[in-house]
Structure 1
Amino acid sequence: MTRYPFPALKDLPEDIHARVLAVQEKAGFVPNVFLALARRPAEWRAFFAYHDALMLVDEGSNPTGSLSKGEREMIVTATSAANKCLYCVVAHGAILRIYEKKPLLADQVAVNYRKADITPRQRAMLDFAMKVCLQSDQIDDADIDALQAHGFDDEDAWDIAAITAFFGLSNRMASFSGMQPNPEFYLMGRLPKPAKTS
């Protein structure tokens, strides 16, 4: 994509530069979203602040909901597929495979979550997420009741809706700008890591 070229790493504001280097250190590469959005630093900061509030939770310590990190990635993968966002399906599908330790799961969730190797609770979660994604104007108490029948509460419903809505924005910006998934994402989590030898 040449209309919106990535800024040079050296030209990024100090806080963004530091975050990008930290991600590179952890992942071994810089996900393209970090550079694509950095052309507008104020928007980058707002985007990643909301992203982190929704997605970077410590399981068991989130006071407002019960969604695991893997379940959050399931929501992103399923709804990004509905929005036809190549970048988010591939990138978040990779993260989903890693969190759930299931190499086939992301493909199943992206293509047809109703036939995926997930629990009935997770299927109800994705039913709700997909309705928020495609028919949010039709959400009513019956949808919340269906979630509650599977042990979700009102805060979980908020989390599911917020993740779906936030990634709706992300999907559209990634697709509009022609953002491509890093090649590394395609292989992540598909094969078990080789055992370490001592």
Structure 2
Amino acid sequence: MTQPVSRYPVPTLDSVPDDIRQKILEVQEKAGFVPNVFLTFAHRPDEFRAFFAYHEALLLRESGLSKGDKEMIIVATSGANRCLYCVVAHGALLRIYEKKPLLADQVAVNYLKADITPRQQAMLGFAMKVCNDSASIVDADFAALREHGFSDEDAWDIAGITALFGLSDRMANVTSMRPNDEFYLMGRVPKAGR
């Protein structure tokens, strides 16, 4: 039995606005499939545009955070938010960027037990505090990041990614967004021919 992508109607590609269709086709070309988040959010075109604009502004900008760092933040905080979609989808990206097939599972369950550096532990400690108790963030939290080479701009990025995925995790849970089957094995096993 095939499970639905979302509890809300998923539009067909020919029924979405041209700019959204183009974005979805670009992602499909690059990934080889359409991640279900694009189909789910296409249900509301204006929100699709706003979400992915902020997503790109945060995740594609140059910063003191690597692609792997950014995905690690997403996986750890999405694990805390119990978001299956984001843990599975971004876990795949984390495994690929870091070239560590076990890392995403470790980070999603308990980053304190994961095979990560002290710098990454400090980064995730800040992210988890933003995720679970942002009102308690104080100057000492920024100082702890600085001790590991993070700037205040990096702290903004950590907080922004955590906050955006707080929204994403909640919407994925409410919509019952299903992870694409393709994500589960990505970065776990070598590609054919390697």
* Correspondence for 2:20 among 16, 20, 36: 16
* Correspondence for 1:135 among 130, 133, 136: 133
* Correspondence for 1:107 among 99, 105, 108: 105
Distance 1:91 1:3, change over 3 A: closer
Q: Deviations over 1:104-157 (max 9, x none)?
A: 100010011111111100000000000000000000001011101101010000
Which sections of structure 1, spanning at least 5 residues, go unmatched?
none
Aligned length: 190
Is 1:97 the counterpart of 2:95? The answer is yes
Which sections of structure 2, spanning at least 5 residues, go unmatched?
none
Q: Equivalents in 2 of 1:145, 1:130: separation in Å? A: 16
Shift of 1:172: 0.3
* Correspondence for 2:35 among 31, 37, 50: 31
Deviates more, 1:118-127 or 1:2-11: 2-11
- Where has structure 1 moved over 4 Å in runs of 4 or more? none
Instruction: Give RMSD over aligned pairs.
Output: 1.1
Is 1:52 the counterpart of 2:60? The answer is no
Is 1:123 the counterpart of 2:121? The answer is yes
Q: Equivalents in 2 of 1:126, 1:21: separation in Å? A: 33
Aligned residues of 2:7 and 2:176 also touching (Cα < 8 A): no
Matched with 1:192 is: 190
Residue identity opposite 1:23 in structure 2: V
Matched with 1:180 is: 178
Other structure's SS at 2:10 match: coil
Q: Equivalents in 1 of 2:42, 2:152: separation in Å? A: 34
Residue identity opposite 1:26 in structure 2: K
Matched with 2:144 is: 146
Aligned residues of 2:7 and 2:177 also touching (Cα < 8 A): no
Q: TM-score, normalised by structure 1?
A: 0.93
Identical-residue share of aligned pairs (%): 70
Q: TM-score, normalised by structure 2?
A: 0.95
Residue identity opposite 1:195 in structure 2: G
